[in-house]
Structure 1
Amino acid sequence: MAIHEYDFTWATFVNCTRTTENKRYNFVSCLSKTDAFVYVIISYRAALQLEYAEPFCSFLAMTPIKFDPEQMKRNGNIISLEHPTTDVFQLLKHGFSVPIYSRGVSSISGCLKDAAITFLMKTHKVGIFFPRVAFASTELTFVPCIEYDHIPSSTWLSYSLWVLVYIAQILIGLSILGRNVIAPLAIFIFLVHKLWREKKSVDAVEKFLRSQRALAPTRYAYTDLIAITGHFREKLGQGGYGSVFKGVFPGGILVAVKMLLSNSRCNGEEFINEVSTIGRIHHVNVIKLVGFCSEGSKRALVYEYMPNGSLDKHIFSATGVAGRRAFTWDKLNDIALGIARGINYLHQGCDKRILHFDIKPQNILLDRNFTPKVSDFGLAKLYPKDTSLVSMSTTRGTTGYIAPELISRSFGVISHKSDVYSFGMLLMEMAGGRRNADPRAENSSQAYYPSWIYDRLTQPKISEISTTFDISEGERKLCVVGLWCIQVRPSARPAMSKVIEMLEADVGTLEMAPKPFFSSEEPIPTISVSCLGSSSELPAISEDE
């Protein structure tokens, strides 16, 4: 059993040396004298704290009484008596009730049961989405239960539980702090950082466009693009950098509008590359940039329209294997020559050498006469013509067409010969009418076309091959030139000007290329997969190696 001061209403008698206007003090005239004034102070559910008493009053007595709303007027914590002299003695006569608490709990299981009931009640009040509050209330119920009911051997248990309670409350506090303070702060910092990056990207692009204003193509507003494309109604295709839509200029001139993704990387580098390279190029085998748009995060490039799409749609069958060819061998040779002339112009015909780094069938577009045009300069780089060594911070290109030296310095120096390698892989696919790597090939030996065709070209006298292998002069020429272009060492590859001569020459005058792959007798340099995403610069080595 336990009695607490909060269970009673208290009457405190004080003796003052003079009168007071304090409304808490009820004057008792029958107990007062000329120089001693007796007051009674009624306090509800708490005993009077003596430090709050008037300094000229002294304590006489204190006793519990029963709260009687008929005789007492309560205004907040202030309780006054209508007739203090008579009322106070009437209240004393009534006495007071003593509450007796008996929990009836004699085991830890009983305390756990009470704690569970408290948790359910608190959860019902605060909601199931705030279990931390309910759990904290449950802790404050379970531990005092063990202490107050004097469960045997509970002292050490209660101490341990109090430690766990404090730890749990600290964790609950941290979780609430993380949810209500740290999480919003982290989101705010992320949004500010993202906004800063976008602003920095826009500033970099605008600075470039102002410096190139005299040389750059026409700049269009975003509203102009909406009108040109008819609200982007007809979609021509989609790539890694955005979507391409068909547009019409006044007068019926068709264009292709390439909308770049707003989250494109490199601070708009691919956009700057396109404008700075194609914007100053005028060649029949390079796509023409008609104009561009840059408004905040909205960026677009406007090209001349290519009605026959990209080359890959014509040289590959629907199943991805060799089938009926869309072009004759003469036409394929003409297309290969056009591509070679376009790349050679990039390497030699401009003020600066332009390295494309992403030559592949998807980036070769065909006009209405199937004249090829090199496109997509998002990965391109400009260098002085006298620069023979190129230092790069990241690997560029597409798997299957990327030159070995772009992956590892063990193969050689990065230069214009890297584009030659990609062009060679493109020639091999044009010749085979299939992807160079095709795991679905009929025979495992045909899975990699360059290796398979090299063996056929260099071993024609074997009886089992000569009876089943037949190759036209057109395919033979494209394969021989392609094999020269895909030599592992850059120094063994011909320049694009030499490639043009080879494509224009008679196939009988072409010398067979060395085997461009590692044979079983040659050591294969170790290539780390991680280097594909490395941001460290690839050191340049001599091309004579």
Structure 2
Amino acid sequence: MSKLLVIAILLLPLISHGRDLSTIWVWEDKDFFKYCPSSQCSQHGPEIRYPFCLASSNTSSCGCGSRSVRKLVCSGQDTILVHPVLGPYNVSAIDYRHSSMKLIPLVDPCMVLQKKLISSRSSSSSQVYDDNDYDEDYDEYHEFLDPSATLVYCSREFTPSAADRIAGPVSCLSNTTHFLYFVASDEVISLLPLDCKVIPVSDGGGGRTIAMYMYAPVSMLDLYPQSFKESAESILSFAKKTVYWNGYNCRQCELSGGRCAFSAQRLEPFCMPHGSRTKVIAATSSVAAFVVLLLTVATALSLSLRTRYNEEIHLKVEMFLKTYGTSKPTRYTFSEVKKIARRFKEKVGQGGFGSVYKGELPNRVPVAVKMLENATGEGEVFINEVATIGLIHHANIVRLLGFCSEGMRRALIYEFMPNESLEKYIFSQTRIFFRMFCQC
């Protein structure tokens, strides 16, 4: 008890500070799927594994990082992705071999984006807004969700060229005096007209200004968006869409039959070769099968020994009864004992070797029926009492009138002592003679 108290006191500071004990150590790469197993929100829902994870799970070392777009949420049986800028999507499928997922917007992304736009001092028109302008911690692993975009408002409408990687004006976010455009984050803002200003977008984290990340459709043979304009228009449409994440190494791994995982030691993705997971499962299954086999053998052996022990006792009792003869106490069948004991309705005593019930012989003589129950040396107790008490006729010893030995059921039938304690006579003499029998 004192050791448990010491351990609890040592762990108390960690618990009080809300620390995750799993972050104290880092597992080996081969154990990734042991500590970061795949999951599903429903039986038919998409498999959730690296580079995604459930927000409710312990994923501090599973490679999800701090990006909310990697952390999916279960809502009933639906799998939900909550984009920090564009709102929630229902994830209907995830294809890890082609780094794609099918999304159904739950709300109009344009309406969500309108609420995200905040009033802020405009940036200088000559400012360069590139990948270094957003919080590094927001995207720990830069391969994910490329490209990002910057929102700009312009007081006059203009038509960008296809090569400028500028999309707009966005009709749902523009009016007659302000025209909103998406600009690729690596674009130099100075390419825009001088009246265009950068619009900060809040992700709900205390007004922090971030670049807006978009899922960029790509072809199966090309790693880069076919058109930035098409990407922007697609992501803002209130329709089902297929989107892709930029994970070339993981895609090659999955296409080769492996499974993409994350090294908590090197802090980078790696490929778990084909068959590694199968070997782990096979090894686990083999151990489980061995344990089941061991338990089965142990159970069978225990039952066999118990059966053999019971058979030996039964044989020992029967051999005694044959040599004992029929001139002494009467032998009854178990059915007869039940009738004599009135189906064991009136219990009058309880001892170490069994229970005593009041009964009556066919000639209406009252008797006490003792049923021997689960006692160590049960056979010896029975033989001892029949052989010894059956031969003794004494005023201070209860007379044995009959007995029953049928299978493992054994009963002793004594004369009933209405004015004396049955426990005093029956159980005390059982202990005395059993002790004498064992010492011989």
Pairwise TM-score range, normalised by the shorter structure: 0.3 to 0.5
| TM-score, structure 1 normalization | 0.31
Structure number having the greater helix percentage: 1
Q: TM-score, normalised by structure 2?
A: 0.38
Larger strand percent: 2
Which one scores higher on RCO, CA 8 angstroms, separation ≥ 6?
2
Greater gyration radius: 1
